[in-house]
Amino acid sequence: MNLQELKIQFLEYLEVERDRSPKTIEIYDRHLAKFLVWAKIENPTEITDKIIRDFRLHLNRFENEKGEKLKKITQNYYIIIIRSFLKFLAKRDVKALQAEKIEIGHAPEREVEFLESAEIERILEAASGVDFKSRRDRAILELLFSAGLRVSELVSINREKLNFKSGELSVQGKGGKVRVVFISDTATGALEEYLKKRTDIDPALFVRDTKGLRKFKGKNNNPNNKNTQEEDLRLTPRSVQRIVKYYAAKAGLVKNVHPHTLRHSFATDLLMNGADIRSVQAMLGHSSITTTQIYTHVTNPHLKEVHQAFHARRRKK
């Protein structure tokens, strides 16, 4: 079989056997397609050390129309996907370059931007109104920080999943993995106040303004319309991003705040207050402890302060 046919099989393998999300499969498809178009090869035996070296050089020297180069993490992502494809070929006994011969380049450490406690209070207070939008947006901000949710997890929550008595919530994360997250008392209060404003029966926890729903019903009463009420009411990740940025600006924060900033803030807050990294890993839904360890670089300055405050005290006696 040629590489195009094998690529299709690989994507089907990711979907069925590895249970990857449609978005992940789309990304793998796009990156592999770019590699194959650049390489101009048709047979898996043509994937050689030289081809990979030349492709890495191409990625490193590539500039877009604005003169911007590819980030190292993006370059590495291409190589990771190619390695994954080669491992698949090996499983199918297809002769090709061994994946182990390809090394992943060194990428600079990720910078984690988070909000200090005072900044968290400011952004929450910025959404302190009593109308539907303010109640909803306050609940969104509180839940993002309380549970350390990804924005995709937040928008997929249905009302029936909430359990205020236990203070727990099950969410489906990356790769379809389900984990339990915890809702703080302040987040619970914000959610209860928001839900009092809901007059619709839509299952989604976070929806557009119900005034928008009435407009929607007036304009889209055609039963053949594919846009269902639920699809049109549920907030999208992009909507939540705009909401977070709006209140960050309203609070006067100069940082580039987005939903993941609140997730970073959640993890950093836990570590700075004594949580162990394995517990934080579980609460964030990270499959690898390596991913969670990016937060240790953030907490290092805090640890230094602790060392100076407590260890140095013994020397002063």
Catalytic residues: 150, 174, 260, 263, 286, 295
Q: Rounded CA gap, 58 and 38, in Å? A: 9
Amino acid at 58: H
* Tokens linked to 293: 């360890």
- Going from the C-alpha of 301 to that of each of 266, 298, 305, the distances in angstroms are 17, 7, 6
Q: Rounded CA gap, 267 and 263, in Å? A: 6
* Tokens linked to 302: 């805090």
Give the orientation angle of helix 22-39 with respect to helix 49-61, to 10 degrees: 100
In DSSP terms, which residues pair with 171 in a beta bridge?
179
